[in-house]
Structure 1
Amino acid sequence: MEPGEQQDSTKLTTNPFRRTRHGSTSGESIKGRIRRASMSLKGIVRRERRGSAPAADINIHEMRPTTSHSTWHKLRQAASFRHPRTSYGCPGGLETIYSPLETEFPTLPVPGNGLEPPIIPWHTGAAAKAAAALQNESLGYARQYQELISLAESQNDRESGIGIAFTLSTSQVDEAAEKGAPIIRKDFIAELPSELAVHILSYLDASQLAIASRVSKHWHSIAQDQHVWRQSFLREKTNTYATSHSVQPGTGSGVPSIRPENDWQKIYKAREELDKRWRIGKQARAVFLNGHMDSVYCQQFDENKIITGSRDKTIRIWDMHTLQCRLIIGPPDVVNDTSVLFDPTGHPTHYALFPDDRRVNPSVPVTVSFPIHHSASILCLQYDDDILVTGSSDSTCIVYSVRSGYRPVRRLRFHTAAVLDLAFDDKHIVTCSKDCSICVWDRATGTLIKQLNGHTGPVNAVQLRGNTLVSCSGDFTVKLWNIDSGKVIRELAGHTKGLACSQFSEDGRYVASAGSDKVIRIWDANTGECLRSIQAHESLVRSLHIDSVSGRLISGSYDTDIKVFDMETGQQQLDFPGWHASWVLSAKCDYRRIVSTGQDAKILIMDFGADVPNIGMLESARKHEVACDVRNAGFI
């Protein structure tokens, strides 16, 4: 072979792109070839020696299992940190090969096509490679662990403790370690300053405080602190169902005013017993107030008084505590008749009557007639601390001043038929009528602001929440109005007969309505969705009242029944059938009582707090009431 040909052959067999140790791409040196050949020969010799060594030369004390399937070999492999070596004696690994076509690779990834794999450029895919390496490493660790578990189970007889390190959980180890540790008991309440101890115990409720007070004398002493019971009561007993804020002390909702003399432990226990009686419903004391001579259409009450309006054209004010009638307001021909005060035998016509026919607390109320008075039935009323407003079949409303002894201030006259219902707030008085209209009046001046027309039947009920008004009518519909614009916001349709009553929750989120179809519907006022439909009574539902604090819904019907429902679920909680001799015309409740009136001319009080120890402590500070001291009002 010619020298030139030999040179060309060398160029063909040598990789011109193979990098040397110094990074050059020159051909491989002779020294490197010799070294690699010697390493190969050494490897062959070592393998031959291991295979041909006589058994007699092996030290029996150093003999170890050589099979790759032995337990020792697997454990040694799993625990070894030495890297496997290649046949050349170097650490194992893939040798980097640089292809002469490297510069022709695409710079962007190329998806696979058919059986051809995708092409990933050499300078990309670092994240994928790292993820694959991490996954392989995790799988390797998991495989080694499973091999150890399998090995331990196969080599042991399952009766010994061998292998416990592979099966005992961390929690079991911790539990075993803690069994021998002594339990340290320390009375942290005794160690803390009394102020902190009181603050901590104030987060307990009544039942938890009862348990805590039995721990020790010191705990008992701390648990009797008034601050503990006050904070616990205000936290546990001021939550509400549908109000804009929690119950404020002293507002007449079963949370008394905060006074230094309050015994909050007794207050808490009284409220607990009261709530229990509401749940059971069998311990309410019933009492009837007699005095009206005809149907009692409307009523409102608080902790101190009840105000009623009747078909006998009178308004009567009753003392809630003594159950006596204090004042009668009416036309002169009615109030000047002695039959209003005494029966033919000379006995007072006003008294309280228990179900066993016991008459108690007879009274002779003051009678008064003003130049401005109603000449027909009193169909609706509402009062607050400043005014009382009544509506009548004479098509008018009268505004009275509570602070001046219920003297009339003005008459509101615009409707052309009976005023069936009314409502007011700080700015407006709203009335509705049998003439199918709603009137909005200025509270301060009595000026008519606007008339709302939209119902096609008598408007039987209205109620006001902010600038939103709800009304219901004999035309089967419930309407929500914007009182400022006078426009209908939403119409709630679903009832199949005329409606008699509708109610807003205090926060304006819910509306309840009912009527001749005997069904109570609860609506979402914001969306118009009917949330619940309750098959409530066997006859027309005449009255509804939402207690936004407790979430109770009180209904009264022409079937003579009074029922209590849960607003949240629609489930019936209590039923008082047949307590009135005829139609129930109005039924309302507060935290303690249900008060109802009917066609039988009686006022029924169902008192769940009667005979509850210290029940009077739940009341707000009693204000000076003209209703209870009419002699100082200048009438007599």
Structure 2
Amino acid sequence: MVYELMFSPNASEKKRLADKIDPESHVPTYITISPRKDGATAKTKCLNPQHNPLLKKRLFVSSTSILPMFRVRHGSFSRCRLPNSNSSTQTGCLEKAQRLVSLPFEILSSIIFYLDYISVQKLARSCKRMQTVCHDDSLWRKLLYADFQLPPLSKTAPSCTNLRLYQNHLRLGHRWLTGKVNTHFLQGHSDSIYCLEWIGQDMLVSGSKDKTLRVWDVSASRCVRTVAGEHQGSILCLMVNKERSLLLTGSSDATCVMWSLPDLVIVRTFRGHGDSVLSVCFVGGNRIVTASKDFSLRVWSQETGQELLQMAGHLNSVNAVEAIDEHRVVSVSGDATMRLWDVDTGECIRVMQGHDLGLACARYNGKHLYSGGLEGKIKVWDVETGECVNTLVGHAGMVRSLDCVDGRVVSGSYDRTVKVWDANTGVCLLSFQSGHSNWIYHVLSSGTRIVSSGQEKRIMVLDFGNGLTPLCPA
């Protein structure tokens, strides 16, 4: 066999190559989901696997001018049999291969660091020395961070654990491009499910029109707790703080309730809005902001429950509020505008306009703000300038919910589809259809899953990480 070694580019080179893909010419991979009769599982089918150019894009460049092609026989290098090559060329190839193998371990490891995964595995089969270098656990520690920005496992972990971890995340990334998922449903609510939030790696909480909260163990597909009787109306929104020690719920009873986690004991109730609380968020370490159907936002003290100030200016329901940093939030409204607010003073810093119809959702990923609404388009904004920098087109109904994680944007729509977008290019990668038979109200993502809910009484779980062990916590 002849092995060709390729250099893998660094992150900036990968981004440069990925940016060459024309979003308008890209056809997303369509995945149809067919629920089974048991109501708890589903089968999936990829309708157009050939239409994903990202899978065909070679994100590495040839390096045969630097590293030689070589062949293996009985565990050592033999003469390369290159087509149309004379004996002097073959001899030169063999000499280069021998010089490469004779390099110090540290230098070989540094060279291999720049190879793509397939080339490293081919190189490992060339001779025993290369196998030792290519399977060195410290090499894969570095590659885990370089390629996936993941922390390595402990140095006391078994040999080659980081290699297995790298392989699993490579497979996971491929699944995010091809839509290969294990699909199941969580059932238990008696009415529409408006909101979802992670409270642990495998633990999910949901809020419903049936006025209850349910806690789910997603890995076991079971409800572990139901909380009822605390809200007098539908539970419309949820938010967990960064430490996952507190949960906020907003309701059509015009209240916001703060709960302690994981025991779900009420800490305090915030009262003051004149209509439904549609969205909530934590700001800094000691304040929360609520958005309401009464056209206003209110800032509250987390410790005392006291209302600190009101922020008014929208001409319709304030459907979502999103924290930008410790001092600013963005609100989106049915009046088709977004407003950037200073929560210290209550001042509106900027009004952002660009949507033609009312807005339903917003999500900030630390770099850009994403917004969606009635017109079915997702717009991408630079918060600092108020400029719309991109528009993502693909949904045929209102975009009701957005989430951002690991360079991807996930959207759920009234067109009953869940879509996955590349946050850097705006390309739609995946479109899941048929899993929901009615409007989607909420989507939530992690590194390994997408969960979604809507008018149906069940939650759909798309599990990209099924069977991949170990994986870094998502």
Per the TM superposition, whether the score is higher than 0.5 is yes
Aligned to 1:510: 368
Cα distance in 2 for residues equivalent to 1:200 and 1:443: 53
Distance 1:219 1:573 in 2: 37
Identify the match of residue 440 of structure 1 among 277, 292, 299.
299
Check conservation: 2:335, 2:359, Cα contact below 8 A: yes
Aligned 8 A contact 1:295 1:312 in 2: yes
Q: How far 1:587 sits from its partner (Å)?
A: 0.9
Q: Under a length normalisation based on structure 1, what TM-score does the superposition of the two structures give?
A: 0.57
1:308 matched residue in structure 2: 206
**What residue identity is the alignment partner of 2:156?**
P
CA offsets per residue over residues 614-633 of structure 1, 9 Å max, x none? Answer: x2311339xxxxxxxxxxxx
What is the one-letter code of the residue matched to 2:427?
Q
Greater shift in the superposed pair: 190-199 or 309-318: 190-199
**What is aligned with 2:338?**
478
**Residue deviations 1:356-389, cap 9 Å, x none?**
xxxxxxxxxxxxxxxxx21111100111421111
Deviation at 1:602, TM superposition (A): 0.9
**2:438 is equivalent to residue 582 of structure 1:** yes
Using a 3 Å threshold, how does the CA distance of structure 1 residues 408 and 189 change in structure 2: closer, same or farther?
Answer: farther
Distance 1:620 1:260, change over 3 A: farther
Residue matched to 1:419: 277
Per-residue deviation, 1:569: 2.7
Tell me which residue corresponds to 1:381: 238
Contact 1:460 1:471 in 2 (8 A): yes
What corresponds to 2:191 in structure 1? 294
1:89-488 superposed matches below 5 A: 184-185=95-96, 187=98, 191=102, 193-195=104-106, 197-238=108-149, 249=151, 257-258=153-154, 260-261=156-157, 263-281=161-179, 283-301=180-198, 302-331=200-229, 373-384=230-241, 385-403=244-262, 405-425=263-283, 426-466=285-325, 467-488=327-348
- Name the structure 1 match of 2:426: 570
**Cα distance change on mapping 1:222 and 1:375 into 2, 3 Å:** same
Deviations 1:183-233 (A, max 9, x none): 854745654554554455344442232132133211101211111111111
Contact in 1 for aligned 2:279/2:291 (Cα 8 Å) = yes
**8 Å contact 2:360–2:401 — kept in the other structure?**
yes
Shift of 1:454: 1.0
1:616 has 2:469 as partner: yes
**Deviates further, 523-532 or 600-609:** 523-532
**Root mean square deviation, CA, Å:** 2.3
Q: Is the 8 A contact 2:153 2:162 kept in 1?
A: no
Report the Cα offset of residue 473 of structure 1: 0.5
Structure number with the higher strand fraction is 2
Closer, same or farther: CA 595–189 of 1 in aligned 2, 3 Å: same
1:598 counterpart (426, 445, 454): 454
Measure how far apart 1:322 and its partner are: 0.9
Q: Distance in 1 between matches of 2:267 and 2:374?
A: 37
State how far apart, in whole Å, the 2-side matches of 1:501 and 1:485 are: 24
Tell me, in whole angstroms, the C-alpha distance in 2 between the residues paired with 1:504 and 1:476: 18
User: Normalising by structure 2, what TM-score?
Assistant: 0.75
Give the Cα–Cα distance (whole angstroms) in 1 for the partners of residues 156 and 202 of structure 2. Answer: 22
- CA distances 1:341-367 after superposition (whole Å, capped 9, x unpaired): xxxxxxxxxxxxxxxxxxxxxxxxxxx
Tell me the amino acid that sits aligned with residue 553 of structure 1: V
Share of identical aligned residues, percent? 36
Distance 2:364 2:118 in 1: 35
- Which of 373, 377, 380 is 1:519 aligned to? 377
SS at match of 1:268: helix
What's the counterpart of residue 103 of structure 1?
none
Question: How far off is 1:516 after superposition?
Answer: 1.2
Q: Distance in 2 between matches of 1:578 and 1:182?
A: 59
Larger radius of gyration: 1
Distance 1:406 1:259, change over 3 A: farther
Kindly tell me the number of residue pairs found equivalent between the two proteins.
379
C-alpha distance in 1, partners of 2:223/2:117?
39
- C-alpha change, 1:186 and 1:597, in structure 2 (3 Å) is closer
Within the candidate set 414, 417, 429, 1:558 is matched to: 414
In the TM superposition, what is the alpha-carbon distance from 1:257 to its structure 2 partner?
5.0
1:495 aligns with 2:355: yes
Change (3 A) 1:570 1:191: closer
* Counterpart amino acid of residue 182 in structure 2: R
SS at match of 1:570: coil
Contact 1:303 1:619 in 2 (8 A): no
Measured in 2, the distance between the counterparts of 1:187 and 1:227 equals 24
Q: Distance in 1 between matches of 2:252 and 2:155?
A: 46
Match of 2:29?
none
AA partner of residue 252 (structure 2): S
Q: Deviations over 1:135-189 (max 9, x none)?
A: xxxxxxxxxxxxxxxxxxxxxxxxxxxxxxxxxxxxxxxxxxx99x978547456
Counterpart CA distance in 1 for 2:97 and 2:260 is 64
Whether the aligned pair in 2 keeps the contact of 1:555 and 1:562 (CA below 8 Å) is yes
- C-alpha distance in structure 1 between counterparts of 2:253 and 2:459, whole Å: 24
Give the unaligned 5+ runs of structure 1.
1-177, 239-246, 250-255, 332-372, 622-636
SS in 1 for 2:336: coil
Output the CA distance in 2 between the equivalents of 1:564 and 1:276.
14
Gaps of 5+ in 2: 1-87
**Cα displacement string for residues 17-73 of structure 1 (whole angstroms, at most 9, x for unaligned residues):** xxxxxxxxxxxxxxxxxxxxxxxxxxxxxxxxxxxxxxxxxxxxxxxxxxxxxxxxx
Secondary structure at the aligned position of 1:617 is classed as coil
